[in-house]
């Protein structure tokens, strides 16, 4: 087994939350994603043993959902929305600028394994279009210039925890909702930040 | 509950059971709705949308998939409206967008549902001019199954089969949307005992078998319906041949037996028929050389032996004979032999079974209607694979499954209770008080039980199973299915009196009581656990006649070797299965060379010896076999050929088995047989020989420590005899138990009543160097 004891312990804790073992499949795949930056075949074998289904059944689920990456990702997964609300608010220019800065085509990772770029469908932030996500932490109202600033900031400071509110303050603009509680926690990997999975951390 | 509902389909009033699917209700009334993904034996999934029909709803007529819609009373359905036709054309146009249309080189062409339905319901023209989706052309998903993902229309029949029916989901949909494909996990091939069924139910040519690939066109095939004689299940089959060569076996949906499924051994083991190594001429052993002789010379030499009717003749009969063959030997024995009338079956597991006055015998269908199934027998998945499928089906329908013994480990996954090593000892005895087991109280006592009982290993005493049987018989309303697994064992029971097994053969047969021994379709030296003893017995006999398809370890000891035609498509007859269901075995291809049927040989021999017999034809033997049964219910050819009896006729008759218990209280080794071995027929079937007869043993955890095994390999040594094997740890085994599969050459050559040394291979290498 290629998972260390700490991760296995966490996995078993997650499995206990569900009446059937196999129901924990989704969260466990996120856990695998946070470990390696993608769903490796080794992780699939571990998960299949943990939840008692065959490896190919795990593979089937993991390849169905696009948030489970099949290839290794960089430290920061840059997802720029290309759906209609963002598109009419100039997201194509944001996409161009980010691609220009990182030198990446869609679904590519750079050599330093710092950035992975993807243009994605609606991420539910139409009110603040155009929207960008870094490791699934959403920044709204991003202008092409601010998109470059965001990338530059990431490249220069390389923060271990990416916090949505912090990026919103520095690089964002208009927001869908402005009444949400201030949240200083953020994602620690290219898996979305979930407290139960411990893929989120408070930034000090 | 049983009230019918009335529907109006295309203006015609039809009746249906409630809770039926619309597509099935229409089918039953003769209205065909096209479909790809829906299959009677699989759960509906609504994948292909080919079965869209119009149903009147409060909001007007709507298109619904008839495979996921249940019938309701006064439903009004149109399956032929313009809207439906347009929908069907649309669906087919979409399905064909990525289909390569390589019909000219596709094995399925001619019997392809996609091809047929495109002709019947398709648009005629495609508007798709873009590049089709490409995948690597066929990939091997197992040694015998190939997958062409370009042809696949994603109906999910194969994936559902492997998940729902056979329970080994090693193929699944990978990716999503336009990229979706069926595939296996890397380095985890589709190793299933039932993989051939996916080829049969694939509605396109995506799944093909190495066995049949590029061999024939469907319109060239001759076919007939027959019965598989591989194990005692007696699955209904369709044999296909072209140019007098058997090319394929398909499962036929016999509701009460195999429901359309076959195991891969039953499906592909026929390949030995076309082997060049088959015996084609009679052989005689002269000074240890086998010399070809004319069959007439065999008859004349043997008739000298039997003419005076004073000969002591004994019979060792295999399980691949037809009932008519058995009857021929019985008649022969009655006329010729002076020795005690008994027949030895080639079965080292034969035991008296449970056929007494107080026993009600179960049918396979009883599995579905009982409250619980209790199993203590050989590993059913290995020995009667399709019965395993039927048990799975019953469990899926809510029947409780209680499994005793580490032998039936493969059932433990689906069992509600598995009484493993804590309850059943290394000596195969139940060590706990059965009545005090908690789940027995809950599931068994006072309930309707189907008990599948039999010996788990040759050296086990009959008494241990009897204990369980007696408990069930007195504490529940139980029916018994005796799990004799070998071929036509029940046919032998039905036609022969006084049958015994190999353990009795070893004790009984000697030079004094045997002038002439017939060994028919049996290789006990190559397969049974009594190998060495049987070998020395046969070597001590004067005249031994072997009838077989191949020359093997037993037949090479014989004085005469007669080439036998195979029961798989080379001769006619009847076969009786585990529930005493007798069905037809049919002939499709000529048998090669001078091969003869067993009954032909024995009848000709009697004629040659100037003995008149009334049973001198297949029909007369067939009538003779069932002469004591009620004529209207007896499975004679005339009755079996009636359309209503194609699935066979059940005629329970309690057999006379005079096998004795070997009374051993101590089982040192657990021996058994896996589905695939290396018998003569398996070695000469290309597909089966690929599927593995590797020499290995399974051991309990204690064995590893005891012998200090580390490298995954070890050597078994007894006296001068040694075999190198790999070993696997089996956690459900009692600590010190060692399992040895004996249907592999050499592994059955040990004396299992004595100690066998196990030496780790590293130590062995060091010893050999010194």
Do both B500 and B633 map to the same domain? yes
For chains A and B, CB pairs below 8 A equal 37
Chain A residues with beta carbon closer than 8 angstroms to that of B185: 41, 44, 54-56, 59
Is B175 at the interface with chain A, CB within 8 A?
A: yes
Query: Distance between alpha carbon B699 and the CA centroid of its chain, in Å?
Result: 27
Query: Does A64 contact B185 at a Cβ distance shorter than 8 Å?
Result: no
pLDDT of residue A154: 97
Query: Does A59 contact B176 at a Cβ distance shorter than 8 Å?
Result: no
The domain boundary, picked from B65, B80, B95, lies at: B80
Is residue B96 in a domain?
no
pLDDT of residue B2: 67
Residues in chain B where the model's pLDDT stays below 70: 1-2, 338-339, 663-667, 770
Query: Distance between alpha carbon B369 and the CA centroid of its chain, in Å?
Result: 23
Do both B475 and B574 map to the same domain? no
pLDDT of residue B665: 57
* Sign of CA pseudo-dihedral B692, B695, B698, B704: negative
List the domain boundaries for chain A.
5-64, 76-178
Residue B408: CA count within 13 A, CB half-sphere:
31
Is residue B336 in a domain?
yes
Rounded to a whole number, what is the distance in Å from the CA of A47 to chain B's nearest CA?
A: 13
- Number of structural domains chain B divides into: 4
Task: Give the integer Cα–Cα distance in Å for B196 and B181.
Answer: 19
The model's pLDDT over B6-39, given as tens digits with 9 standing for 90+, comes to: 999 999 999 999 999 999 999 999 999 999 999 9
pLDDT of residue B371: 96
Is A71 at the interface with chain B, CB within 8 A?
A: no
Is B413 at the interface with chain A, CB within 8 A?
A: no
Q: Which two tokens stand for residue B269?
A: 């083991």
Do both B495 and B475 map to the same domain? no
Which has the closest alpha carbon to B385: B192, B221, B206?
A: B192
Across the interface, of B168, B173, B186, the residue whose CB is closest to A60 is B173
Is B308 at the interface with chain A, CB within 8 A?
A: no
B647-683: burial string, b at 16+ Cβ within 10 Å, e else: bbbbbebebebebeebebeebbbbbbbbbbbbbbbbb
**What's the maximum distance between 2 C-alpha atoms anywhere in chain B?**
91
Residue-range definition of the domain harbouring residue B33: 5-80
Task: Give the integer Cα–Cα distance in Å for B416 and B403.
Answer: 8
Query: Does A44 contact B174 at a Cβ distance shorter than 8 Å?
Result: no
CATH number at residue B738: 2.40.40.20
Is residue B695 in a domain?
yes
Query: Does A55 contact B176 at a Cβ distance shorter than 8 Å?
Result: no
- Looking at the DSSP bridge assignments, the partners of residue B486 are B231
Q: What is the DSSP letter of A21?
A: G
Do both B619 and B549 map to the same domain? yes
Do both B444 and B496 map to the same domain? no
Rounded to a whole number, what is the distance in Å from the CA of A125 to chain B's nearest CA?
A: 25
Do both B525 and B587 map to the same domain? yes
Question: Could you tell me whether strands B696-699 and B757-760 are parallel, antiparallel, or unpaired per DSSP bridges?
Answer: unpaired
Across the interface, of B174, B186, B188, the residue whose CB is closest to A60 is B174
The domain boundary, picked from B482, B502, B518, lies at: B482
Do both B477 and B496 map to the same domain? no
Do both B736 and B616 map to the same domain? no
Query: Distance between alpha carbon B505 and the CA centroid of its chain, in Å?
Result: 26
Is residue B544 in a domain?
yes
CATH number at residue B19: 3.10.20.740
Architecture of the A5-64 domain: Orthogonal Bundle (1.10)
Query: Does A63 contact B184 at a Cβ distance shorter than 8 Å?
Result: no
Query: Does B185 contact A53 at a Cβ distance shorter than 8 Å?
Result: no
Which residues, numbered 151 to 170 in chain B, qualify as contacts with chain A under a Cβ-Cβ cut-off of 8 Å?
A: 168-170
* Sign of CA pseudo-dihedral B408, B413, B416, B418: positive
Question: Could you tell me whether strands B400-404 and B417-419 are parallel, antiparallel, or unpaired per DSSP bridges?
Answer: parallel
Sequence-distant contacts of B541-544: CB under 8 A, at least 24 apart: B541/B509, B541/B511, B541/B514, B541/B517, B542/B511, B542/B515, B542/B516, B543/B302, B543/B305, B543/B515, B543/B516, B543/B517, B544/B516, B544/B517, B544/B519
Give the residue carrying structure tokens 């993904």.
B37
Chain A residues with beta carbon closer than 8 angstroms to that of B184: 56
The model's pLDDT over A100-127, given as tens digits with 9 standing for 90+, comes to: 999 999 999 999 999 999 999 999 999 9
Give the residue carrying structure tokens 């955890």.
B701
Q: Which two tokens stand for residue A99?
A: 């691609």
Query: Does A44 contact B185 at a Cβ distance shorter than 8 Å?
Result: yes
- Looking at the DSSP bridge assignments, the partners of residue B174 are B181
Q: Which two tokens stand for residue B511?
A: 């030079």
Do both B459 and B529 map to the same domain? no
Chain A residues with beta carbon closer than 8 angstroms to that of B173: 60, 64
Is A41 at the interface with chain B, CB within 8 A?
A: yes
Is A54 at the interface with chain B, CB within 8 A?
A: yes
Query: Does A64 contact B175 at a Cβ distance shorter than 8 Å?
Result: yes
Do both B509 and B639 map to the same domain? yes
- Looking at the DSSP bridge assignments, the partners of residue B585 are B573
Is residue B638 in a domain?
yes
Do both B454 and B477 map to the same domain? yes
Q: Using only the alpha carbons of chain A, give its radius of gyration.
A: 17
Is residue B128 in a domain?
no
The mean pLDDT value for A75-87 works out to 96
Q: Which two tokens stand for residue B42?
A: 């699989």
Say how many C-beta atoms besides its own lie within 10 A of residue A169's C-beta: 11
Is A21 at the interface with chain B, CB within 8 A?
A: no
DSSP B393-453: HHHHTT-EEEEESGGGHHHHTT-SEEE-TTTB-TTS-B-S-GGG-HHHHHHTTTSEEEEEE
Please give the CATH number for the structural domain made up of A76-178. 3.40.30.10
Query: Does B172 contact A53 at a Cβ distance shorter than 8 Å?
Result: no
Is residue B269 in a domain?
no
Is residue B375 in a domain?
yes
Do both B706 and B565 map to the same domain? no
Rounded to a whole number, what is the distance in Å from the CA of B174 to chain A's nearest CA?
A: 5
The model's pLDDT over A133-144, given as tens digits with 9 standing for 90+, comes to: 999 999 999 999
Is A184 at the interface with chain B, CB within 8 A?
A: no
Residue A1 has pLDDT above 60, yes or no: no
Chain B: residue whose CA lies nearest to A68: B175
The domain boundary, picked from B440, B461, B482, lies at: B482
Q: Provide ipTM, 2 decimals.
A: 0.93
């Amino acid at each position: 087994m290629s998972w260390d004891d700490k991760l296995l312990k966490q996995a078993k804790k997650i499995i206990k939350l569900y009446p059937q073992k196999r129901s924990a499949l989704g969260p466990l795949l996120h856990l695998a994603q946070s470990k390696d930056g993608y769903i490796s075949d080794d992780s699939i074998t571990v998960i299949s043993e943990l939840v008692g289904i065959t490896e190919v059944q795990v593979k089937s689920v993991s390849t169905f959902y696009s948030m489970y990456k099949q290839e290794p990702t960089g430290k920061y997964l840059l997802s720029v929305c290309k759906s209609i609300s963002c598109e009419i608010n100039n997201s194509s220019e944001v996409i161009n600028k980010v691609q220009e800065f990182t030198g990446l085509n869609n679904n590519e990772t750079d050599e330093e394994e710092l950035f992975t770029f993807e243009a994605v469908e609606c991420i539910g932030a139409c009110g603040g279009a155009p929207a960008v996500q870094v490791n699934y932490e959403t920044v709204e109202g991003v202008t092409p210039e601010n998109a470059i600033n965001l990338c530059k900031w990431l490249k220069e400071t390389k923060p271990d925890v990416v916090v949505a509110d912090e990026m919103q303050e520095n690089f964002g603009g208009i927001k869908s909702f402005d009444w949400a509680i201030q949240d200083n926690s953020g994602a620690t990997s290219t898996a979305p930040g979930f407290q139960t999975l411990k893929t989120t951390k408070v930034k000090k | 509950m049983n009230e019918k509902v009335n529907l109006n389909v295309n203006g015609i009033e039809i009746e249906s059971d409630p809770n039926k699917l619309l597509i099935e209700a229409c089918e039953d009334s003769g209205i065909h709705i096209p479909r790809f993904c829906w299959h009677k034996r699989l759960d509906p999934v609504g994948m292909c949308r080919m079965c869209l029909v119009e149903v009147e709803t409060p909001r007007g007529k709507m298109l619904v998939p008839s495979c996921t819609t249940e019938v309701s009373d006064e439903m009004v359905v149109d399956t032929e409206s313009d809207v439906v036709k347009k929908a069907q054309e649309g669906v087919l146009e979409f399905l064909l967008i990525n289909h390569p249309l390589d019909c000219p080189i596709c094995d399925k062409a001619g019997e392809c549902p996609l091809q047929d339905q495109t002709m019947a319901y398709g648009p005629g023209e495609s508007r798709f001019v873009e590049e089709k989706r490409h995948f690597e052309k066929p990939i091997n998903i197992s040694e015998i199954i190939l997958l062409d993902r370009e042809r696949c229309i994603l109906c999910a029949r194969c994936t559902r089969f492997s998940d729902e029916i056979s329970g080994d989901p090693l193929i699944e949909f990978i990716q999503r949307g336009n990229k979706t494909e069926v595939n296996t996990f890397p380095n985890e091939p589709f190793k299933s005992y039932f993989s051939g069924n996916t080829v049969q139910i694939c509605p396109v040519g995506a799944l093909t078998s190495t066995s049949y690939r590029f061999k024939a066109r469907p319109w060239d095939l001759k076919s007939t319906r027959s019965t598989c004689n591989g194990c005692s299940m007696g699955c209904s089959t369709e044999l296909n041949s072209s140019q007098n060569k058997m090319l394929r076996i398909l499962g036929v949906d016999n509701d009460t037996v195999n429901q359309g499924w076959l195991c891969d051994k039953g499906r592909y083991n026929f390949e030995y028929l076309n082997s060049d190594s088959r015996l084609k001429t009679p052989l005689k052993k002269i000074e240890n050389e086998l010399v070809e002789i004319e069959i007439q010379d065999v008859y004349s030499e043997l008739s000298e032996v039997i003419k005076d009717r004073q000969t002591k003749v004994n019979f060792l009969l295999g399980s691949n004979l037809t009932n008519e063959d058995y009857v021929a030997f019985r008649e022969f024995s009655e006329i010729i032999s002076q020795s005690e009338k008994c027949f030895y079956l080639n079965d080292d597991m034969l035991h008296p079974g449970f056929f007494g006055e107080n026993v009600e015998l179960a049918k396979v269908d009883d599995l579905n209607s009982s409250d619980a199934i209790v199993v203590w027998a050989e590993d059913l998945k290995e020995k009667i694979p399709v019965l395993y499928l039927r048990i799975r089906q019953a469990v899926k329908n809510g029947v409780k499954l209680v499994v005793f013994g580490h032998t039936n480990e493969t059932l433990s996954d689906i069992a509600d209770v598995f009484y493993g090593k804590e309850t059943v000892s290394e000596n195969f005895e139940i060590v706990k008080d059965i009545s005090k087991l908690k789940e027995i109280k809950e599931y068994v006592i006072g309930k309707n039980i189907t008990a599948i009982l039999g010996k788990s290993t040759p050296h086990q005493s009959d008494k241990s199973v009897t204990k369980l049987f007696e408990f069930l018989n007195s504490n529940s309303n139980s029916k018994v299915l005796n799990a004799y697994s070998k071929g036509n064992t029940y046919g032998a029971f039905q036609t022969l009196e006084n049958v015994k097994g190999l353990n009795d053969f070893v004790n009984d047969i000697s030079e004094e009581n045997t002038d002439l021994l017939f060994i028919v379709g049996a290789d006990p030296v190559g397969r049974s656990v009594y190998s060495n003893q049987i070998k020395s017995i046969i070597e001590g006999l004067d005249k031994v006649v072997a009838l077989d398809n191949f020359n093997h370890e037993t037949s090479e000891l014989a004085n005469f070797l007669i080439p036998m035609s195979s029961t798989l498509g080379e001769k006619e007859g009847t076969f009786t299965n585990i529930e005493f269901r007798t069905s037809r075995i049919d002939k499709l291809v000529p048998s090669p060379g001078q091969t003869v049927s067993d009954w032909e040989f024995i009848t000709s021999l009697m004629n040659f010896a100037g003995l008149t017999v009334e049973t001198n034809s297949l029909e007369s033997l067939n009538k003779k076999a069932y002469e004591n049964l009620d004529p209207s219910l007896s499975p004679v050819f005339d009755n079996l050929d009636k359309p209503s009896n194609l699935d066979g006729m059940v005629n329970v008759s309690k057999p006379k088995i005079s096998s004795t218990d070997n009374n051993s209280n101590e089982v040192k080794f657990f021996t058994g047989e896996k589905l695939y071995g290396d018998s003569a027929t398996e070695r000469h079937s290309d597909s089966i020989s690929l599927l593995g007869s590797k020499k290995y043993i399974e051991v309990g955890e204690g064995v590893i420590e005891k012998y200090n095994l580390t490298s995954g390999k070890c050597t078994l040594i007894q006296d001068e005899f040694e075999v190198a094997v790999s070993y696997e740890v089996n956690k459900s085994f009692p600590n010190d138990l060692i399992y040895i599969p004996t249907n592999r050459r050499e592994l059955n050559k040990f004396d299992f009543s004595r100690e066998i040394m196990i030496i780790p291979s590293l130590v062995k290498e060091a010893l050999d160097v010194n």
